[in-house]
Amino acid sequence: MAQTVVLGVGGGIAAYKAAALCSLLTKRGYSVEVLMTANATRFIQPLTFQSLSKHPVIVDTMNEPAPQEIAHIAIADRADLFVVAPATANLIGKLANGIADDMVSTTALAVTAPMLIAPAMNVHMLAHPAVQMNLEVLRARGAVIVDPGSGPLACGYTGKGRLAEPEDIADVIAALLARKVDLQGRSVVVTAGPTVEDIDPVRFLSNRSSGKMGYALAEAALLRGATVTLIHGPTSLAPVVGVKMVPVRSTEDMLGAVQAAVSAADVLISAAAPADFRPRERLEHKWKKSGGTPTLELEPTPDVLGTVAANKTANQVFVGFAAETRQALEYGRDKLVRKNLDLVVVNNVLESDAGFGVDTNRVTLVGRDEADEMLPLLPKHEVANRILDKVVDFFNQANEQP
């Protein structure tokens, strides 16, 4: 039986691209049911979507084509995925704040399936704090946001705001609908972000880790059925809905949190970048320039991964990261053996598109019993799934042993 994609079309010039998306999804074998806002019909006629989807298109919430059912409830129940494309600023605001005054937003409140939102609007509207806040609210609820592309916009501006290409949206839809649940019943602990070591009440030592890779791993593990604990240092990222979030500050804090969580875990993925050094003594008050130049004496912080890996059991899978600036593979292989790990993810943080704070990564997966696997530049959520594929392989191999 074909999976059902409910496509909500907002009232923007990019609505014509939604017709191309509808066509692509139908050709790929999905059943597509289209809902439109009234303003969307000013850009493209419902008959276009009806011809492409072979289903009635509903605009008015008071239009009930089948007397035996309530349309917005029945459609919501049939949805395997709810897609809003294009999502205007107005429609995003409604979805974030639970406003239901048209067929798209009303059905959205009744949907229990995952939601994908593809924004499209003027570059300044997209950057407005209200729109960004609404998108963060939707992300926090678990919605997948397909970021708009950059280029010439219908309003005459050039910048970020044009609807992602239909082929790209269709690929994300396919990935969401085909996602694996091969970690069902597994407990996964992920560490993410930097740690902070205080010098005085206003200054600290830290690093440039954003936490994006760890958060991507936590989200991917959750989608694959795992129970996930995310132990994270200070980041600006929205919480991952459905994941147990454990905030920490110092490396010592992170070690304690990991030790508390890992004994009951099947998997530990150490994607955090804990600070390696801390001041030997923390100043009680802010150091003033008038006091001269201070001498900062450092000492090593605890080795979080090394400490917990020393007690690793045969049934657990431990994954480490090696973020290096030179001899990355050599250091990664050393870390694999020295810390008794099953896999090390190696990358060179000097690469501008694969270091800290970006949405992509270029890594090499270093294991014990097989050749290194070099991955091309990929979005971090895809890198996360490649890592989890390896984790699942470890469990499968263990089950096959006599």
Active site residues: 155
Gyration radius of the chain's alpha carbons: 24
Q: How far apart are CA 257 and CA 269, in angstroms?
A: 14
Residue 132 near residue 119, CB atoms below 8 Å: no
Instruction: Report which of 65, 39, 66, 34 is spatially closest to residue 50, judged by C-alpha positions.
Output: 34
- Tokens 């074998």 found at: 29
What DSSP letter does each residue of 20-83 carry, written as one string?
Answer: HHHHHHHHTT-EEEEEE-TTGGGTS-HHHHHHHHSS--B--TT--S-TTS-HHHHHHHH-SEEE
The tokens for 11 are 């009232």
Buried b (16+ CB within 10 A) or exposed e, 206-245: bbebbbbbbbbbbbbbbbbbbbbbbbbbebebeebeebee
